[in-house]
């Protein structure tokens, strides 16, 4: 396979050597003549285990060469990986000057090229960059339409410094953002040359976002662990022992459990323990900015739901489900807070939940709910059908199986606000609003 790689920085130089290591003919492209000369001399541009030997070998065997000539690279390859830098500006905005420059240069050459060409972007860019910056530039300078003469996709890299060569051949995941069948087929072929891991296909915007989410998640884990370490150290506790056991829990802690965008958490234990932990941290005189932000962040989700309801301009609101399906614990429940706030704003509420009724509540639960919703029994109805008939906007508050059928009952003037993603594939109807999807 004939491949060109634009940008011989960290990602580009590793990618060039690794692809050439699988007997592909690779042309590395960079505006820096010194980098080009080093590659052509068989020298690695960065220090990474195995990269020095790999670079020397693939150059000696004729599988890798470098140039500053964009024309040479595009005309002598059928696919290009774009690995140019996307640094930060002084105001922290993303600087796409190198991406724009390479798109301009490549576009001019594509105008003269008759053969179909695939462009795979590995540069980190915010969602919308491919669609709104990259493709328009390429179309303008090539005088061609994306999908006809050339195609664009994004395939974020997940290399770790210190093990980049190993990670290239053993990636944690293969991700490609595209809707083009030809690109999907090609990426399946090229990824099969590198690893037996299947390729995950997303939309372009989803793949752009994934790279940011991936990096932020890693940074968040480091920051969280360090804050736990600060408190442990103040209490003469071995933080590594604590975190090691935390990580052994693959059911809750190191899994996808809880890691799905939805409404704020509803557990009174989470809130109680967070408050107690932060109180003790203040007593210990330690600052925990990440952990301190959890409760304020949690409360913003309630404001988001209220704003979604207000935007619909409907006064009659129905709520399906108060708390997690199959239980009736209402303490610290965000749905209860939302109901209380909507009543306070003058909305007419209708409620349905098979697991909640005033007659069944007692003790702390009864006191809590009646303090927040004094006339609960007057708002409750006996069926989903009754709720739908009396509501304009319907809020789905938990994943009780019977709530899926609400879509069979709604009419054209209804709006459904889904806080839990009741269906894995959300319905494609104009009345449907998902809180984060």
Query: Which residues belong to the annotated binding site?
Result: 30, 35, 86, 124, 158-161, 211, 258-262, 272, 324
CA separation, residue 409 to residues 31, 34, 308 (Å): 62, 68, 21
The two structure tokens encoding residue 66: 């470098």
Question: φ, ψ for residue 244 (rounded to 5)?
Answer: -60, -45
DSSP one-letter code for 198: P
**Beta bridge pairs of residue 80:** 4, 119
Q: How many residues does the chain have?
A: 437
Binding residues for NAD(+): 30, 35, 86, 124, 161, 272
Q: What is the CA radius of gyration of the chain?
A: 28
Determine the longest span between alpha carbons in the chain, in angstroms: 83
Return d(Cα 225, Cα 239) in angstroms, integer. 8
Q: What count of other Cβ atoms lies within 10 Å of the Cβ of residue 87?
A: 9
Q: Which residue has the tokens 């150059």?
A: 59
DSSP code per residue over 299-350: HHHHHHHHHHHHHTT-SEEEEE-SSSTT----TT-HHHHHHHHHHHTT-EEE
Helix (H, G, I), strand (E, B) or coil at 413: coil
Query: What are the residues whose beta carbons fall under 8 Å from the beta carbon of 293, sequence distance 6 or more?
Result: none
DSSP one-letter code for 380: B
The two structure tokens encoding residue 385: 């059908």
Question: φ, ψ for residue 338 (rounded to 5)?
Answer: -65, -45
Please report which residue ranges of 116-267 form alpha helices under DSSP H.
Answer: 129, 135-142, 164-169, 181-194, 204-234, 239-248
With CA atoms as reference, report the closest residue to 207 among 128, 96, 119. Answer: 128
Binding residues for substrate: 158-161, 211, 258-262, 324
């Amino acid at each position: 396979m004939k491949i060109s790689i634009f940008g011989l920085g960290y990602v580009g130089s590793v990618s060039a050597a690794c692809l050439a290591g699988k007997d592909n003919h690779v042309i590395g492209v960079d505006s820096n003549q010194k980098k080009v000369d080093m590659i052509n001399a068989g020298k690695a541009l960065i220090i990474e285990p195995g990269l020095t030997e790999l670079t020397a070998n693939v150059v000696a065997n004729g599988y890798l060469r470098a140039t500053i000539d964009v024309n040479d690279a595009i005309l002598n390859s059928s696919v290009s990986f774009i690995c140019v830098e996307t640094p930060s500006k002084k105001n922290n905005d993303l600087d796409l000057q190198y991406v724009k420059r390479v798109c301009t240069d490549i576009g001019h050459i594509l105008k003269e090229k008759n053969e179909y060409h695939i462009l795979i972007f590995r540069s980190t860019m915010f969602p919308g960059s491919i669609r709104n910056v990259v493709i328009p530039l390429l179309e303008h300078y090539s005088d061609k339409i994306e999908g006809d003469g050339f195609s664009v996709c994004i395939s974020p890299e997940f290399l770790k410094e210190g093990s980049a060569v190993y990670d290239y051949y053993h990636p944690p995941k293969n991700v490609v953002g595209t809707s083009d069948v030809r690109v999907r087929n090609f990426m399946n072929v090229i990824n099969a040359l590198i690893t037996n891991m299947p390729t995950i296909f997303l939309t372009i915007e989803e793949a752009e976002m994934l790279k940011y989410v991936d990096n932020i998640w890693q940074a968040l884990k480091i920051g969280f662990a360090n804050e736990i370490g600060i408190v442990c150290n103040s209490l003469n506790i071995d933080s590594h022992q604590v975190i090691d056991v935390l990580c052994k829990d693959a059911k809750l802690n190191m899994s996808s459990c809880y890691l799905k965008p939805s409404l704020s958490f509803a557990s009174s234990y989470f809130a109680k323990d967070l408050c107690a932990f932060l109180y003790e941290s203040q007593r210990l005189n330690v600052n925990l900015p990440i952990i301190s932000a959890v409760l304020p962040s949690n409360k913003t989700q309630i404001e988001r739901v209220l704003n979604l309801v207000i935007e619909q301009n409907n006064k009659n609101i129905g709520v399906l489900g108060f708390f997690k399906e199959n239980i009736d614990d209402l303490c610290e429940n965000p749905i209860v807070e939302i109901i209380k706030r909507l009543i306070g704003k003058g909305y007419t509420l209708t409620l349905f939940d098979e697991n909640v009724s005033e007659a069944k509540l007692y003790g702390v639960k009864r006191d809590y709910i009646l303090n927040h919703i004094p006339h609960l029994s007057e708002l409750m109805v006996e069926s989903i059908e009754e709720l739908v008939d009396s509501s304009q906007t319907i809020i789905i508050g938990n994943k009780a199986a019977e709530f899926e059928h609400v879509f069979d009952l709604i009419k054209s003037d209804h709006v459904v606000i889904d806080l839990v993603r009741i269906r894995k594939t959300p319905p494609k109807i104009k009345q449907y609003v998902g809180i984060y999807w």
